Chain A
């Protein structure tokens, strides 16, 4: 047989899933909160919305799903 094949693992170690889920969701919630506060208080809009939105909630919810056992 060929030399032992290299095993494929997830790009992020599984042991980190719950920790990453908690941290990223925390960051996402903070950004969401600041976004809504910003919306509610100022009358002129900025373009800083776009940057924060793509990272905060998305990755956090992915790691939440993975740590709960729903391997998507």
Chain B
């Protein structure tokens, strides 16, 4: 898988490098990027790329759409793209979030490039310039090399990229900074001017590059940060109008770094902790809402007692330790469940509907989730469910039969692939509910007792004797 990524990236980049000469014949774009600065943070297995673009309108008409280009391999691994406009001078800067959408540009030369359009808040007039900040988040983009390591070895990974920023616009000046987690860098391809100071490699500044110009580079460095990936997370949020929200999460966790080869020696692992199992991880931290109760952590064998819960008024932190430390390629499956008070999450909206306001995502911090499924189980008698999520997700409805259910509960299922932790994104699920339906449950129980007594009365009245 990793070798295939490398081959594909190399193929794609050399293909574009050849088209570099054809780029001169592309239709002239309106914008010109006067300064581009890219900071690539490689400290963890989630790669954050901060791109600061100073875009100038060199055409005659005003325009409000700026196009970003990415190679198809990058788009496969792209988890999130975010753009904001920076206004103001040095000390006082404000940023305004902008909308970014994927687009197609059929007339642009390298046919395989994928594009995203940033919609500016105000159209940029001819001669004006604006500063944009773009954040890309890539997952599964670091290739472990060697692909298999023993317990005492450190994990080395490859990062493939281009020294020149791929863009459909002419870039007057650009610089790229790559930050590695430690100073141990095995090799990196130079493209002058290149400079390496401590943990930072600086490519540039490069002057006056035409559109679609790239230059493939790679960095081979040590990265021992925990490559914890949740392959599948199913989170079930059950709402009860009697005052409780019960959350149950099923995790399938895997260590997605260099695979572990050879034996696992517990003696070596415990005695030489500094040099042994450097890329393995033991502890996972989950951030839960405050006022959480009845937290449990178990798997198929039973309860796992190696966990700690620390609560305060703003958040609760659950630190869990799986039954064994995770080395490359090892998996762990477990269930975390907890209860939350209803009044923190369920609210009344203006048009007489109720809505659940909950955080979207995985409570475990620093994780990539390959497939995230959130199921919101609405109480019996709820109608008209509609989810509101800040980014595109797939959703459908299901039915669930739980305790004291006659017609079944509606379940709103939201699915997202390639999820990374983002700042505080909440989602809402709206539904209508008539409070009188809450009476159905005690009446059901009361009628059960009633039937019992009626049966007693009937038994006493029925005369089963043969003889008078």
A and B: real partners?
Answer: yes
Is B457 a contact partner of A58 (Cβ separation < 8 A)? no
Distance of A57 Cα from B456 Cα, bound (Å): 15
Q: Quick one: which of B349-369 are within 8 Å of A by CB?
A: 349-350, 354-355
Give complex CA distance A11, B242 in Å.
7
Q: What A residues does B243 contact at CB under 8 A? A: 9-10, 14, 66, 71
In the complex, A37 has a CB within 8 A of chain B: no
Q: Known: A7-B344, A58-B448. Contact between A39 and B456, CB under 8 A?
A: yes
Stretch at the interface among B16-24, B193-201, B208-216, B437-445: B437-445
Name which of A6, A57, A59, A71 has the most chain B CB atoms within 10 A of its CB. Answer: A71
**Given known contacts A11-B435, A55-B446, is B242 in contact with A71 (CB within 8 Å)?**
yes
* A72 pairs with B441, CB closer than 8 A: yes
A5 CA / B430 CA spacing, docked (Å) = 13
Which of A8, A28, A58, A61 contacts B241, CB < 8 Å? A8
B453 at interface (Cβ–Cβ under 8 A)?
Answer: yes
- Chain B residue numbers with a CB within 8 Å of A54 are 443, 446-447, 450
Count how many chain B residues have C-beta atoms less than 8 Å from C-beta atoms of the other chain: 40
What 1/0 flags go to B84-96 for Cβ under 8 Å of A?
A: 0000000000000
Asked if B83 is an interface residue, CB under 8 A from chain A, the answer is: no
Q: How far is the CB of A30 from chain B (nearest CB, A)?
A: 14
Is the CB–CB distance between A58 and B445 below 8 Å? yes
Tell me whether A72 and B242 are in contact in the complex, defined as CB-CB below 8 angstroms, given that A8-B348, A35-B453, A58-B447 are known contacts: yes
Query: Are the C-beta atoms of A57 and B446 separated by less than 8 Å?
Result: yes
Instruction: Give complex CA distance A14, B444 in Å.
Output: 21
Cβ contacts under 8 Å, A59 to chain B: 442, 445-446
Q: A56 contacts the other chain (Cβ, under 8 Å)?
A: yes
State whether the Cβ of B60 lies closer than 8 Å to any Cβ in chain A.
no
Q: List 25 A-B pairs, Cβ < 8 Å.
A: A5-B349, A6-B347, A7-B348, A9-B243, A9-B342, A11-B435, A14-B341, A32-B449, A32-B453, A35-B453, A36-B456, A39-B457, A49-B453, A49-B457, A53-B449, A54-B446, A55-B446, A57-B445, A58-B444, A58-B447, A62-B442, A69-B339, A71-B243, A71-B244, A72-B404
Query: Which listed residue (A2, A28, A56, A69) contacts B294, Cβ 8 A?
Result: A69
Q: How distant is B340 from chain A, measured CB to nearest CB, in Å?
A: 11
The answer to whether B346 touches A8, judged by C-beta atoms less than 8 angstroms apart, is yes
The 6 closest A-B pairs by CB, nearest first: A58-B446, A57-B449, A5-B347, A71-B240, A10-B243, A7-B343
Cβ contact of B403, chosen from A35, A45, A72, cutoff 8 A: A72
> Could you say which of A53, A55, A70 has the most chain B C-beta atoms within 10 Å of its C-beta?
A53
B176 within 8 A of A: no
Inter-chain contacts of B263 with A (CB < 8 A): none
Is B167 interfacial (CB 8 A cutoff)? no
Q: How many residues of A contact B (CB 8 A)?
A: 31
B280 close to chain A: CB less than 8 A: no
**Residue from A7, A12, A35, A55 having most chain B Cβ neighbours under 10 A:** A7
Instruction: Mark B residues whose CB is within 8 Å of A.
Output: 240-244, 246, 294, 339, 341-344, 346-350, 354-355, 402-404, 435, 438, 441-450, 453-454, 456-457, 460-461
Interface of A is mostly: helix
- Would you list which residues of chain A between 1 and 58 have a CB under 8 Å from chain B? 2, 5-12, 14, 28, 32, 35-36, 39, 45, 49, 53-58
Shortest C-beta distance, B406 to chain A (Å), equals: 12
Neighbour of B348 across the interface among A6, A36, A57, CB < 8 A: A6
A66/B347 in contact, CB under 8 A: no
Chain B residues with CB under 8 A of A14: 242-243, 341
How many angstroms from the CA of A62 to the CA of B449 in the assembled complex? 12
A57 and B442 CA atoms in complex are apart in Å by 9
In the assembled complex, the Cα of A35 lies from the Cα of B438 at a distance in Å of: 28
Q: How far is the CA of A61 from the CA of B403 in the complex (A)?
A: 14
State in angstroms the CA–CA spacing of A57 and B241 once bound together.
21
User: A5-B347, A8-B343 provided; 4 other pairs, C-beta below 8 A?
Assistant: A8-B346, A12-B242, A39-B460, A62-B442
Question: Would you give the shortest CB distance from B43 to chain A, in whole angstroms?
Answer: 35
Given contacts A5-B347, A39-B460, A59-B446, contact A70 B403 (CB under 8 A): yes
A39 to B452, CA, bound (A): 14
Determine the distance from Cα of A29 to Cα of B158 in the docked complex, in whole angstroms.
72
Shortest distance from the beta carbon of A17 to any chain B beta carbon, whole Å: 8
Beta-carbon contact of B442 and A7 below 8 Å: no
A10 adjacent to B242 (CB under 8 Å): yes
Bound complex: CA A3 to CA B397 (Å): 31
Contact A61 B346 (CB under 8 A): no
Q: Across the interface, which residues of B come within 8 angstroms of A61, CB to CB?
A: 445, 449
Closest to A59 in B: B442
A14 to chain B, nearest CB (A): 4
The closest CB in chain B to the CB of A54 belongs to B446
